[in-house]
Amino acid sequence: MVKQYGVGLELPFEIAQRDGVVDLVGQLPIVELIPESFFFGKKDEFLEMLKKSEVPVVIHSVEMSIGSSGEFHQKHFNQIKQVMDQVNTVFYSDHLCFTKFDGIEIGQLTTLPWTKQIMDGVCDNISKIQDQTQVPFLIENITNRFVVPDSAYSETEFINRILEKTGCKMIMDLANTYINSVNFGFDPYKWIDEINLDFVEGVHLAGGDEEDGVLYDSHGSNIPAPVWDLYAYLAAKKTPQFTIVERDQNIPTFEELMHEVKVANGILEKSAMPGLSESIGQVRREARSL
């Protein structure tokens, strides 16, 4: 039987430094860490606290650059594994993108060309990760600042082929799905329908910002209603093993963060009620009333 971890929070470095973080962790069934924030012994006492608390941890790195064809960044991965070993890691994940090119740091999550050559390189890097970890590896869809023209596949085809070829799982970032749908003019519900949900084990929920009519994935605001709608739609189709509310800019009070955790839990509970799986529209309306 698949273990359900429930809804948790990302714990960025700022939260790790706040008073009351021990009590916050005690309220959560699962948490997420960006390992790069804890390299070189940073906040070791915080990691020790997490270990003692026995809270399950999703390690979610941002700089493995699994889309860098012909490059596997072993030294960086070794540092990630050091953080993984310091806490109760149950999943490891990174983004379906590249952040390095020919050894040069780009400084952002950059969209891949959706081609067979790139796909083969991604699959090779994923296999190297899987060979060196004992926990499931997951890829996450990113916010696309552009789409490379004349790609061989659509984004959903590209993702599905990687999932099926490697057996890795997926964190579906619904904020990114929504942002891309607005910026590039597609139906986000159809996008979800096109993903092989058998491989979707995690969900990210976050808020973004708008500038000059373009949405950005800032993790700096409350989760907007359209993202809650997408979560309700997905939850009626597939209960994820875990959901993480992400907030690493303009971080509010712990009470406000826990409110969004409770909203997500409410959606999961309603989606599991008899009959609601046959009425996805009703689930979406329920989400708006929470």
Residues 159-168 pLDDT 10s? 999 999 999 9
29 within some domain: yes
125 domain residue, yes or no: yes
Residue 275: partners with Cβ closer than 8 Å, 6 or more residues away: none
pLDDT of residue 278: 47
Q: Can you give the pLDDT at residue 255?
A: 96
Q: pLDDT below 50 — which residues of the chain?
A: 276-279, 290
Which pLDDT does position 118 carry in this prediction? 95
Evaluate the CA torsion angle 258, 243, 174, 275 in order and state its sign.
negative
State the DSSP H helix or E strand holding residue 125, giving kind and residue range, or none if neither.
helix 116-131
What pLDDT score was predicted for residue 156? 98
* Measured distance CA(181)–CA(123) in Å, rounded: 26
Rg (alpha carbons) of the chain, rounded to whole number: 18
User: β-pairing, 214-216 with 209-211?
Assistant: antiparallel
CATH code: domain of residue 29:
3.20.20.150
Cross-strand partners of 94:
139
Stated pTM of the model? 0.92
Q: Is the dihedral of CA 150, 161, 33, 92 positive or negative?
A: negative
Tell me, what's the pLDDT at 20?
Answer: 95
Contact 43, 13 (CB under 8 A): yes
- 34 φ, ψ (degrees, to nearest 5): -90, 110
The count of domains in the chain is: 1
Q: Which of 144, 222, 202 minimizes the C-alpha distance to 177?
A: 144
Of the candidates 213, 105, 123, the one whose C-alpha atom is nearest the C-alpha of residue 159 is 123
Element (H, E) at 259: helix 254-271
In angstroms, the CA 161 to CA 121 distance is: 13
Is 196 within a domain? yes
Contact in structure between 43 and 87 (CB atoms under 8 Å): no
Secondary-structure percent of the chain, ordered helix, strand, coil, rounded to 5 = 45, 20, 35
Range of the domain at 46: 6-289
Write out the H or E segment, with its range, that includes residue 56: none
Asked if residue 1 is part of any domain, the answer here is no
At residue 276, what is the residue type? Answer: L
pLDDT single digits (tens) 154-197: 999 999 999 999 999 999 999 999 999 999 999 999 999 999 99
The sign of the torsion formed by the CA atoms of 129, 113, 164, 235 equals positive
CB 3 within 8 A of CB 136: no
Q: Name the nearest CA neighbour of 64 among 91, 85, 87, 35.
A: 35
